[in-house]
Structure 1
Amino acid sequence: MGASSSTDNKESPEKREIESLAASTGALPLLQRSFSNLADSQSNTVSFQSFKQSFCLSYNTTTSEGNQKIPDSFPKLLEQLGSSLVDLFFVPEKGGGLSWVEFAKGYVKCCGRMSASMSFNTLLRLFHVTSQNAGISSKLEFESDESDCKINGSISATELLTFLWMCWTMSWDGRATKSENELFLPEISHLILSAIVSCTESGESLDVWDSSADVLGLELEIPIGKFLTWAVTTIPSVTECLGHFCNSRLQHSLSVEDGSGPSNSADSASKTSENVLLTCGRAWAISLACKNTISEEILSSCFPGNSDETNEHLLYRSKYHGKGMNRLWSNVQGYHAPVLVMVSVISAKDYEGSSTEKKWVIGAILQQGFENKDTFYGSSGTLFSISPVFHAFSSSGKEKNFAYSHLHPSGRVYDANPKPVGIGFGGTLGNERIFMDEDFSKITFRHHAVDKTYQPGSLFPNQGYLQAEALVLDVEAWALGGKKAKDVQDAYKKREELFTDQRRKIDLKTFTNWEDSPEKMMMDMMGNPNAPSARKEERGK
């Protein structure tokens, strides 16, 4: 194999070091197989030009969620993305071909283990170089070629949209299953507004209720230093797109040898997400805020394997199953794995006829699913302000009042101190940061000062200090525990159905005699209340 045939003693220490770094990413076997497939048997090097060609992106059609306008610069950027990546990281020293060490070193440069700041620097450098190669002006400035160098300059709203869509495209690559060669772009105005509100002085006074529809029209520049701070805290997982893209393209080099087709085709995700709260753009934003395996489960709803409207991850939706705790419980009971709850609301004042309608969407992740308790529970969790502005509020580490979900107690008629019935997050009983009543008709928001469980921040624009109430429009619960957790719930439901059928079953053999049947006894009682006792006397004779 080309990756192990080197006999140059001077190269051996470097070779061992690079292989060790590649192994730390978990991609060393993939790199070795791809190098063996791509390398020329005579020179034991990979042709630089053919390798660059294998990273090129080409889509027959490009559509966007909600028909959002696609900047003219974006298709040009994608045309240069693959070749720019190879030129930037995979550099042959002698020209002509990549040796095994250069091949592995290039992968480590762009996908190796590094700090969050270095990962963002690498990703922004790729965006900057790609923009230049596509003839697109960029205001970013890098003080050196080092991956941890300081970056100066700014990024506009349009550039930010293009940058994030570039990251989405790299994550999209290789995930789809059809052969339509179609690229679908998510609606991410909530992410753009989040960066603008967090990083610019103008964003603090921006009316996001009116601006969410046209972020490209915002003539604002975001200082790159503040942008990096926002990105590291809000979308830390976005840098993983680079590793996914490289792995996808290397895997594709193996599938070509096997006779498989290209893997950069895509399903039309618009069909699966246009009618639910968890749209592709919202799901992607939530996945970028997560740093664990839940991220991949959320991504599976972004990149569906088919275009059926019924999503297997959707446990409950109030528009389908009806509103209320009991309806929710019948669909989530028995699911003991992470669940994403989405709630769409409208301001009560707007519902009464205000000229400016204000709707927003919030979310929360329950790590162990729902539990019917009259106290708070959970070991961790995250709250999300999703639309019109995206923010994530992870655990503060001070308290553990992550979730509260309580149904009406069964078997008790009177309770001197009844506990609230509904769903809550953060705060304390009766003073929750978020609380939705048992009918899913009203939801209450309180200032983050009442909550020590989650990080502080506004759950909707201009929340203020006062308690706010809104009307619930729709509620969704999404399964994030994978197939195994869903199979466990399905088995639980089957057992419950079996027990219910057994309890309802009537042994007709007991009532073969009409004279002894309950129906006959009831009719006799209605006609003559003394009939049962008289009949007993007759039998006793």
Structure 2
Amino acid sequence: MGQSSSTEQGASPEMLEVQSLVASTGALPSLQKSFPLLSDPQTQSIPLPSLQKCFDLTCANVEFDQDVVLKELPLLFTHLGSAIVELFFVADENGVSEVEFLRGYTNICGRAVASTLLNNLFRVFSVACSKAGVRVDLQFELFNDDCKISGALSPRDVCMLLCICWIFSCDSRMLRLNAGKGEGKFSVPDISHLVFSAIEACSEGDAGLDFWDSRVSEIDMQLPAAKIHLWALKNVPHLADCFQQFVHARLCYLTLPEEKSETSCASAHESSSLAISKHRLLTPGRAWAISLSLRGAMYEEMSKTCFPNDDDETIDNLLYQSSVDGKGLNRFWSRVEGYNGPTIMLISAREQKTNARPWIIGALTNGGFENKDIYYGNSGSLYALSPVFHAFISSGREKNFVYSHSQGRSYEAKPKPVGLAFGGSLGNERIFLDDDFARVTARHHAVDKTYQHGNLFPNQGFLPTEASVFQVEVWGLGGRSAREVQASHQKREEIFTDQRRKIDLKTFTNWEDSPEKMMMDMVSNPNAVRREER
């Protein structure tokens, strides 16, 4: 017989059941190592202050890349630990036992439907605000397997909730990358486009706001909590994952309790990184919004843009930038050809009319771009990115995901459009970017059955909108392997190009073998007998 496990050494049925649930998440070995670090050897329980301290954040020097200054956040962070422990961990007079420690983890990070996970996040936010003396109008009706949310939140409350989720994500990523040391600096970027998205969804498109000039702190309205819940499920379905990742990292990447207590979310990314990101369309705030609609490998690659810890690695994902590489399909193909992984394209444009405002839209593809005169692809998403964020995933009705066609054959009776397109059909594309990357045409969602319905920018009408393009970016989300394959493809193309350019100078300069000498001989003596060499 092999070595017996802890589940075979007299563990109670209750412990066996809880261990089975935690094992399904893959976190059981890490939690079994963390419990002795946090627990009191005499009572074999974790004192409440120690467990609460695990989840508290010290944010005395948080910097925001936006006009909204949320003075309540530092106070709110100091009450997060007590709110989390109060809601999900059951304690006795000695503290939290190992069974309740594992059960509490399961209550937060166990498998559950998205609406339940989102309710957990809202409950933590509500209790933390209450403990910090910040008034938030949220009520919850708890049932056996469900939780009904009611009340309302102001735009400022929504912004504060999103900021907390951003810091949850940053903190968990720093702990994971730095092996539990919690070192690193980061900043809350501009996330106003997400707040405006919630406002527009809750007001059903009749908010009456100028989203380009509005400031979140100055908007006085109440947004129904139930509608915010529905908005999050549609546009940022993985928002609650930020809370799960935070709890998992805080409990599974522990080293020593005293080292853990010194973790802080002090400041921004390195200033150079922030300065560089401001010249890109895919800013950390926009990248984070997109990442909340992704999972798996694409989420990890997008996170490198949200929370860059290595500028070289982040720049490596930038395949094409029109302001640097030049506009047009030829320059585009020279940079993206051979890349077979998922990509995201961003287009910044402005309508060709007086007092028009710029907007940014995006398109996610699950494969690389191909030069075809038909639509291709098997999945994808469209995004409204600025000034308001919305995600339009595949509707499942049609498969006209991507169209990318360069100049076709001459004298075609019905030439195909030359440019890039997403959704719709040939001649009625949802988004069409011309071959010079000078103009983009956006059409109403009625012409498109591939992607979900919705406006790509505020006040989009039923008629096609033609806009002047400012900048185009393409980012690769296929990881290092996709870039290595592309590099190999580009190197092979360079070799072929060099071979085609080479000239055999020896043959070219040999007069005896030239066609011109043969013609001259024939003219000078046409009756001469010539034997064909075989």
Same fold (TM over 0.5): yes
Give the whole-Å Cα distance in 2 for the aligned partners of 1:396 and 1:166: 31
SS in structure 2 at match of 1:420: coil
Question: How far is the alpha carbon of 1:361 from its aligned partner?
Answer: 0.4
Match of 1:448 among 426, 445, 452: 445
Amino acid at match of 2:324: Y
1:155 alignment counterpart: 153
Aligned ranges 1:384-423 → 2 under 5 Å: 384-409=383-408, 412-423=409-420
1:53 alignment counterpart: 53
Q: Once the two structures are superposed, what CA deviation does each residue of 1:17-50 show, in whole Å capped at 9, x if it has no partner?
A: 2122212222222212212443344443333322
Give the whole-Å Cα distance in 1 for the aligned partners of 2:163 and 2:217: 13
Give the 3 Å change call, closer, same or farther, for CA 310–227 of structure 1 in structure 2. Answer: closer
SS in structure 2 at match of 1:54: helix
SS in structure 1 at match of 2:240: helix
Aligned ranges 1:471-486 → 2 under 5 Å: 471-486=468-483
2:377 alignment counterpart: 378
Give the 3 Å change call, closer, same or farther, for CA 255–381 of structure 1 in structure 2. Answer: farther
Give the 3 Å change call, closer, same or farther, for CA 240–297 of structure 1 in structure 2. Answer: same
Question: How far is the alpha carbon of 1:437 from its aligned partner?
Answer: 0.5
Moved more, 335-344 or 96-105: 96-105
Q: Once the two structures are superposed, what CA deviation does each residue of 1:218-276 show, in whole Å capped at 9, x if it has no partner?
A: 00110111111111111110110112111221233137799999596773352442110
2:429 alignment counterpart: 432
Q: Once the two structures are superposed, what CA deviation does each residue of 1:328-363 show, in whole Å capped at 9, x if it has no partner?
A: 1111111111100100001111xxxx2x33110000
SS in structure 1 at match of 2:63: strand
Give the whole-Å Cα distance in 2 for the aligned partners of 1:342 and 1:287: 14
SS in structure 2 at match of 1:64: coil
Give the whole-Å Cα distance in 2 for the aligned partners of 1:180 and 1:20: 33
Give the whole-Å Cα distance in 2 for the aligned partners of 1:88 and 1:272: 41
Q: Once the two structures are superposed, what CA deviation does each residue of 1:79-132 show, in whole Å capped at 9, x if it has no partner?
A: 22233223322232x223322111101101111111111111110000001111
Q: Once the two structures are superposed, what CA deviation does each residue of 1:472-500 show, in whole Å capped at 9, x if it has no partner?
A: 11000000111111111111111111222
Give the 3 Å change call, closer, same or farther, for CA 433–282 of structure 1 in structure 2. Answer: same
SS in structure 1 at match of 2:369: coil
Q: Is this contact kept in 1: 2:169–2:246, CA < 8 A?
A: yes
Moved more, 16-25 or 169-178: 169-178
Amino acid at match of 2:492: R
1:525 alignment counterpart: none
Give the whole-Å Cα distance in 1 for the aligned partners of 2:192 and 2:297: 25
Give the 3 Å change call, closer, same or farther, for CA 260–128 of structure 1 in structure 2. Answer: closer
1:526 alignment counterpart: none
2:329 alignment counterpart: 325
Q: Is this contact kept in 1: 2:68–2:216, CA < 8 A?
A: no
> What TM-score does the superposition give when structure 1 sets the normalisation length?
0.88
Q: Is this contact kept in 2: 1:272–1:310, CA < 8 A?
A: no
Amino acid at match of 2:438: S
Amino acid at match of 1:389: V
> Is it true that 1:196 corresponds to 2:167 in the alignment?
no
> Is it true that 1:131 corresponds to 2:129 in the alignment?
yes
Moved more, 264-273 or 284-293: 264-273
Q: Is this contact kept in 1: 2:167–2:265, CA < 8 A?
A: no
Q: Which runs of 5+ in 2 are unaligned?
A: 529-534
1:459 alignment counterpart: 456
1:13 alignment counterpart: 13
Aligned ranges 1:125-524 → 2 under 5 Å: 125-144=123-142, 148-176=146-174, 181-200=184-203, 203-211=206-214, 214-254=215-255, 267-268=269-270, 269-307=273-311, 311-349=315-353, 354=354, 356-409=355-408, 412-510=409-507
Q: Is this contact kept in 2: 1:196–1:203, CA < 8 A?
A: no
Give the 3 Å change call, closer, same or farther, for CA 169–220 of structure 1 in structure 2. Answer: same
Give the 3 Å change call, closer, same or farther, for CA 131–415 of structure 1 in structure 2. Answer: same
Question: How far is the alpha carbon of 1:293 from its aligned partner?
Answer: 3.6
SS in structure 1 at match of 2:251: helix
Amino acid at match of 1:47: P
Q: Once the two structures are superposed, what CA deviation does each residue of 1:157-189 show, in whole Å capped at 9, x if it has no partner?
A: 000000010111101104246887534002111
Q: Is this contact kept in 1: 2:254–2:260, CA < 8 A?
A: no
Give the 3 Å change call, closer, same or farther, for CA 534–506 of structure 1 in structure 2. Answer: closer
Question: How far is the alpha carbon of 1:59 from its aligned partner?
Answer: 3.7
Give the 3 Å change call, closer, same or farther, for CA 532–215 of structure 1 in structure 2. Answer: farther
SS in structure 1 at match of 2:412: coil
Q: Is this contact kept in 2: 1:157–1:220, CA < 8 A?
A: yes
Give the whole-Å Cα distance in 1 for the aligned partners of 2:151 and 2:59: 32
Question: How far is the alpha carbon of 1:201 from its aligned partner?
Answer: 6.0
Give the whole-Å Cα distance in 2 for the aligned partners of 1:160 and 1:329: 41
SS in structure 1 at match of 2:363: strand
The root-mean-square deviation of aligned C-alpha atoms, in Å, is: 3.0
Moved more, 156-165 or 286-295: 286-295
Aligned length: 516
Moved more, 41-50 or 96-105: 41-50
Give the whole-Å Cα distance in 1 for the aligned partners of 2:60 and 2:77: 13
Give the whole-Å Cα distance in 2 for the aligned partners of 1:144 and 1:431: 49
Question: How far is the alpha carbon of 1:287 from its aligned partner?
Answer: 1.0
SS in structure 2 at match of 1:379: coil
Q: Is this contact kept in 2: 1:61–1:182, CA < 8 A?
A: no
SS in structure 2 at match of 1:344: strand
SS in structure 1 at match of 2:79: helix
Question: How far is the alpha carbon of 1:153 from its aligned partner?
Answer: 0.8
Moved more, 197-206 or 482-491: 197-206
> What TM-score does the superposition give when structure 2 sets the normalisation length?
0.89
Q: Is this contact kept in 2: 1:175–1:264, CA < 8 A?
A: no
Amino acid at match of 2:34: S
Amino acid at match of 2:339: Y
Amino acid at match of 2:166: W
Amino acid at match of 1:306: D
Question: How far is the alpha carbon of 1:151 from its aligned partner?
Answer: 1.7
Give the whole-Å Cα distance in 1 for the aligned partners of 2:60 and 2:261: 19
Give the whole-Å Cα distance in 2 for the aligned partners of 1:487 and 1:294: 17
Give the whole-Å Cα distance in 1 for the aligned partners of 2:507 and 2:257: 71
Amino acid at match of 1:267: H
Instruction: Report the identity percentage.
Output: 46
Give the whole-Å Cα distance in 2 for the aligned partners of 1:128 and 1:505: 72
Give the whole-Å Cα distance in 2 for the aligned partners of 1:310 and 1:167: 22
Q: Which runs of 5+ in 1 are unaligned?
A: 522-529
